[in-house]
A and B are shown apart, each in its own frame.
Chain A
Amino acid sequence: MSSTIIYIKRIFKSGSLNFFRNKTVSISSVAILTTTLIIIGIFFFFRGIFDYTLGEIESKVDIKVYFKLDAEDTQINIIKEKLMSLPEVKSVNLVTEEQVLADFKEKHKNDAVILAALEEVASNPFGSMLTVVAQDTKSYESIAISLKAGSEFLGESYSVIDDVNYFQLKSTIDKLNNIISWVNTIGYWITLVFIVMSSLIIFNTIRLSIFIFKDEITVMKLVGASNMYIRGPFLVESTIYALLSSFLAMLLFFPITFYISKKTALFLDGLSIYRYYLDNFFSLFFLLLLISFALSFISSLFAIRRYLTA
């Protein structure tokens, strides 16, 4: 076996032995790391809830293009195709005049006056309609501009359009855009604060666990161990902390998300935190692993450097 392999093998063995023999330090370090990771994970779930809720609100917003009663199916289809070719458009759905009438009747089924008035008219007073959903709420304005009278985009086809409801919805969409932008800004700041706080907690935990061994580090130096040979086992130990705490945090999220899902099923209509956890299991696990590994590894490097250069 080459000397480098022996060297690495010894560092790994030594780090693992330290982990198991310094039980108190290891247990407390893993406990603090796990708690920190759970807090980070909870934040991940909060982001999930926010994104889902905003997504739900966004999905309820659309532009409705109302057609004149004499609009031909082919003319409507041309406009539909044109709209679908726009990159800002996510989907375009055609609601036929019969469907519009059926929806109207369903909506006003308890309103006898309206239904009687509809009977008086005899023929269907509604034209067909297109519902246009944008990739994001900010795109509605440019879609609406494309649907304006005299736009180059529609050209002659505009003549069959009766009305576009964007301009009635504009203030609602603007408000929604403001909320989304506000939530995102706040979200980024909270993420930053969380990362700084977690880094400090993890750094202090690792620093304390190394501080306990500062006298031993001095002895190791004096018996002729190189800095890497002293540092290596501490890095291995912090890697074990990171791995174990990530596993533990993920394990604890099973009952936590299950319980929260039951409690929040009513007001988080359609979103199950438990389902969200299962669907995002690997991405959350790798996120926690990456954060705990990076933070504990870097913390170890910094904490031990102090004693190696002293």
Chain B
Amino acid sequence: MLYFENIRKEYPGGSVVLDDINLTIEKGELVSIVGHSGAGKTTLIKMILAEERPTAGRISFHSSQIQKLKGKDLVNFRRKIGIVFQDYRLLLNRTVFENIAFAMEAAGKTDEEIEKDVPHVLELVDLGNKIFHFPTQLSGGEKQRVAIARALVNRPEIIIADEPTGNLDPVNTYDIIQILKKINDLGTTVILTTHNKGIIDHLKKRVITMEDGKILKDEKLGKYTV
């Protein structure tokens, strides 16, 4: 469903951050992308979200070329992807309910759908009792679960989790990974970037190892070997 063909990204000044990236991610996969800082993981993620455009090559979602999407097409495409960041990036002046509802409102869902789905998705991430809290009243693990609920609520085809456990303690890390695993078991494609060896070894799923902007290894049942 997601295809990278000969992707190269070069910034003005000649710094090459991605080079010769050829990759296919199929529906229902859980793919971990690992590598040191500066290996190109985040740039790769930004390209999927069309936040960055490749200098050369082609990146496609089903049959549409992501780098060519603009305006309404780009907005519609982004609604098919759920994104979870390391620093949560919740809307600070909105409650947990409103943060999740925002993604649904933006997608044009009705008030009835929002009233029904938001509590449901919050139950899935075990935050049903914090529905009217503001992000500042939540712990790191709780904030990340709200971010996952927000990413999940529009039933996206892909969930991208960019270092989702980078700011969490081991217990919360384990919880978040279990939630992502559960989402994947239900059929959603999950792309995960991480530095955490324990997570990768525990998942026993596909691992793509990156180094200096290139794919070093792509293993179906990989281990953390950076």
B89 touches A229 (CB 8 A): no
Whether the Cβ atoms of A221 and B78 lie closer than 8 Å is yes
Query: Interface stretch among A3-11, A94-102, A114-122, A154-162?
Result: A3-11
Q: Which residues of B contact A22 (CB under 8 A)?
A: 93
A226–B105 alpha-carbon span in the complex (Å): 11
Nearest CB of chain B from residue A12's CB, rounded to whole Å: 13
A224 touches B110 (CB 8 A): no
| Cβ of B103 under 8 Å from chain A | yes
Interface of A is mostly: helix
Within 8 A of A (CB), among B73-128: 75-76, 78-79, 83, 89-94, 102-103, 105-108, 110-111
In the bound complex, residues from chain B placing their C-beta under 8 Å from that of A218 are 89
Decide if B78 touches A224 in the complex (CB within 8 Å).
yes
A contact residues, range: 20 to 34
Q: Which residues of A approach B to under 8 Å, CB–CB? A: 3, 6-7, 10, 17-18, 21-22, 215-216, 218-227, 229
**A222 CA to B94 CA in the complex, in Å?**
17
Contact between A225 and B75, CB atoms less than 8 A apart: yes
Q: Given the known A-B contacts A6-B111, A10-B105, are A223 and B92 also in contact in the complex, defined by CB atoms under 8 Å? A: no
Interface residues on B, range: 20 to 34
Of all chain B residues, the one with the shortest Cβ separation from A310 is B51
| Min C-beta distance of A210 to chain B, whole Å | 14
- CB pair B89–A219 under 8 Å, yes or no, is yes
Which of A21, A216, A224 is the one whose CB lies under 8 Å from B103?
A224
The residue that A222 contacts in the complex, of B72, B83, B108, B111, with Cβ under 8 A, is B83
Shortest C-beta distance, A268 to chain B (Å), equals 49
B95 to chain A, nearest CB (A): 10
Cα distance A239–B91 in the bound complex, in angstroms: 22
Residues of A within 8 A of B90 (CB): 219
Q: Is the pair B106, A226 in contact by a Cβ cutoff of 8 Å?
A: yes
Cα–Cα distance between A205 and B106 once the two chains are bound (Å): 27
Which of A6, A223, A226 makes the CB contact (< 8 A) with B102? A223
Query: Which among A3, A21, A226 has the greatest number of chain B C-beta atoms within 10 A?
Result: A226
| Complex A-B, nearest 5 residue pairs according to Cβ-Cβ distance, in ascending order | A224-B79, A225-B106, A21-B93, A224-B78, A223-B103
B49 within 8 A of A: yes
